[in-house]
A = this chain, B = another copy of it.
Amino acid sequence: MQRTVTRILKEPRLTDPILIEGLPGMGFVGKLAADHLIETLRPEKLAEILSPHFPHHVLVEEKGVLRPMRNEIYHARIGERDILIWTGDTQPVTTEGHYEVVECVLDLAEKFGVKTIYSLGGYATGKYIEGMPKVLGIGKSGLIEELRKKGIQIEAAGGPVVGAAGLIIGLGQFRGMSGLCILSETHGILIDHRAAQAVLETLAGILGTKLDLTNLEEKAKKTEEAIARLRREMEAREMRSRVREEEESWYIG
B66–A158 CB distance below 8 A: no
Interface size on A, residues (CB 8 A): 57
- Nearest first, the 9 A-B pairs at minimum CB distance are A64-B156, A68-B170, A52-B99, A58-B166, A63-B156, A56-B98, A64-B144, A58-B170, A52-B96
The contact of A58 among B50, B100, B158, B169, by CB within 8 Å, is: B169
Residue contact A63 to B169, C-beta cutoff 8 Å: no
Interface-side segment among A75-83, A132-140, A195-203, A225-233: A132-140
In the complex, the answer to whether A3 meets B2 with C-beta atoms within 8 Å is yes
User: Is the CB–CB distance between B139 and A56 below 8 Å?
Assistant: no
A67 interface residue per 8 A CB criterion: yes
> Are B160 and A60 in contact (CB-based, < 8 A)?
yes
A169 touches B95 (CB 8 A): no
Q: Mark A164-179, 1 if CB is under 8 A from B, else 0.
A: 0011011101100000
Contacts of A1 in B (CB 8 A): 99-100, 102-103, 171
The answer to whether the Cβ of A113 comes within 8 Å of any Cβ in the partner chain is no
Alpha-carbon distance between A111 and B54 when the two chains are bound, in angstroms: 26
Identical copies of this chain, number = 4
Residues of B contacting A187 in the complex (Cβ-Cβ under 8 angstroms)? none
Bitwise interface map of A from 62 to 99 toward B, beta carbon under 8 Å scored 1, else 0: 11111110000000000000000000000001111011
A52-B95, A66-B140, A94-B96 given; name 6 further pairs at CB < 8 Å: A1-B103, A50-B174, A55-B95, A60-B157, A64-B143, A68-B167
Indicate if the CB atoms of B57 and A161 lie closer than 8 Å: yes
| Chain B residue with the shortest CB-CB distance to A138 | B66
A209 at the B interface (CB under 8 A): no
Interface contact A60-B138, CB-CB below 8 Å: yes
Q: Is A163 an interface residue (CB 8 A)?
A: yes
Of the A-B pairs whose beta carbons lie under 8 Å apart in the complex, a sample of 9, sorted by A's number, is A2-B100, A52-B98, A57-B166, A63-B144, A64-B139, A65-B138, A65-B156, A66-B138, A66-B181
Rounded to whole Å, the gap between the CB of A21 and the closest CB of chain B is 13
Chain B hits for A68, CB < 8 A: 167, 170-171, 173
Report if A158-B99 is in contact (Cβ < 8 Å); known contacts: A66-B170, A173-B67: no
Contacts of A52 in B (CB 8 A): 95-96, 98-100
